[in-house]
Amino acid sequence: MANIMDYIDWRGDLPFRYSPFNVVDNLILSQISYVNLHNIVPKINSCFDISLSDACTRYFYIHDMKKVMKDLSICKPCMLLKKVAQSRRYKNIRLSNYIDIVDEDHEEQFSAVLMKLSDGTYYVSFRGTDDTLIGWKEDFNMSYMDCIPAQVEAANYINLVCEDLNRKIRVGGHSKGGNLAIYSAIHCDDSIRDKIIAVYNNDGPGFTRDVIESSQYKSIEDKIFTIVPEQSVFGMLFDRREQYKVVKSSESGIMQHDAMTWQVFGADFEYIDDVAKLTKVVDDSIKSWIESLNNEEKAKFVEALYKVIKGTGIRKVSKLTSSKIKSAGIILKSYNSLDDETKEMVINVLNSLRIQYQRNFFSSFFRKKQARFNL
């Protein structure tokens, strides 16, 4: 089974003028934004840029390869950077206007970089949720906030860096980065929106019903390309109007969110007809659960979960997953430190999710049985 690394082996020698930009290129560029390019790519408002090849050289001059490989949260994007930097197709891409914000006080995690391709077009790459705890907290805030700080930042960013560009623009991102790409295209100035030819959402969450029914959303709906894996969780959250394609993955469950597992065929992905039936059950359950809670209940629940995780002293999500048994004990200890009222609220909310899942699971099961009976 082939992935984006194999794609670079196959087509990395083909410049964009011979083989036009495609959806696989989009996924590759969306992954580069996960690399920490601080002090490597010129910051926002700078008139300078740097080639992707030179950026890679600087990165591995600053960062020890062995340490990078041991860090599971960054090793894959960094290895991808090294591979594209050696390919004719990508190495001369010009990187500029790098921004990276992690602000615990404002509960914001945001990063983006502007890329100029050899065909003269631009790709704005928005980073998805990184390894920081505050980044995940901001994601959960989407469940009850009209907009999160990263979304506002995304709209401001594209207005600022694309204002004077006179070429076609593509906008994209993976995970939350895909959501930010759509949000920025919705809320950017009209003059910039007219230059946007494609918006790529790679397994990123949707929006509230109010957003997708807005005139701004409808104005770019035909430009949105949403791709999710068969067992997508993140990409099926909230609502959307645009159609989506389902890509094959070499992994299962939540691990399908990893872009490195998406299967490539030629200059495109390998697709299947729809997401898995169990994925739809989980998706319907989460949506019903979210809709059953008011904003105050959602906010209290999210704050309680964040307090529990933060109380462990852990600040990186990868630390939680690297030793599940040890992490479970630390989390339980932190949970027990909550007051009784908060603990009861957390249990009640989680029980409501369990009930919604059971209801949707059995409803799906009986619909399937009924359909077979009617044949």
CATH code of residue 17 = 3.40.50
Q: Which domain holds residue 251?
A: 4-275
Is residue 130 domain-shared with residue 247, that is, in the same domain? Answer: yes
Is residue 210 domain-shared with residue 265, that is, in the same domain? Answer: yes
Is residue 252 domain-shared with residue 284, that is, in the same domain? Answer: no
DSSP H or E segment with residue 310: helix 295-310
Q: Domain ends where: 257, 275, 293?
A: 275
The pLDDT of residue 63 is 92
Task: Give DSSP secondary structure letters for 320-362.
Answer: HHHSHHHHHHHHHHHHHTS-HHHHHHHHHHHHHHHHHHHHHHH
Cβ neighbours for 190, distance < 8 A, ≥ 6 positions apart: none
Burial class (CB in 10 A: 0-12, 13-18, 19+), 182: buried
Is residue 62 domain-shared with residue 146, that is, in the same domain? Answer: yes
User: Per the structure, how many domains does the chain have?
Assistant: 2
Is residue 238 domain-shared with residue 295, that is, in the same domain? Answer: no
Report the share of the chain in percent with pLDDT over 70: 90
Is residue 293 domain-shared with residue 244, that is, in the same domain? Answer: no
Q: How far apart are CA 178 and CA 180, in angstroms?
A: 5
Burial class (CB in 10 A: 0-12, 13-18, 19+), 102: middle
Q: Domain ends where: 275, 300, 324?
A: 275
Is residue 128 domain-shared with residue 56, that is, in the same domain? Answer: yes
Is residue 249 domain-shared with residue 332, that is, in the same domain? Answer: no
- Of residues 210 and 290, more confidence is placed in 210
Q: What is the pLDDT of residues 84-123, one digit of tens each?
A: 999 999 999 999 999 999 998 898 999 999 999 999 999 9
Q: Domain ends where: 219, 254, 275?
A: 275
Is residue 42 domain-shared with residue 146, that is, in the same domain? Answer: yes
Q: Quote the pTM value.
A: 0.89
Of residues 43, 125, 117, 118, the one with CA closest to residue 77: 125
Q: What is the pLDDT of residues 21-74, one digit of tens each?
A: 999 999 999 999 999 999 999 999 899 999 999 999 999 999 988 888 888 778
Is residue 19 domain-shared with residue 110, that is, in the same domain? Answer: yes
Is residue 238 domain-shared with residue 116, that is, in the same domain? Answer: yes
Q: How far apart are CA 41 and CA 95, in angstroms?
A: 6
Of residues 150, 226, 177, the one with CA closest to residue 29: 177
Of residues 93, 79, 112, the one with CA closest to residue 21: 93
Is residue 232 domain-shared with residue 284, that is, in the same domain? Answer: no
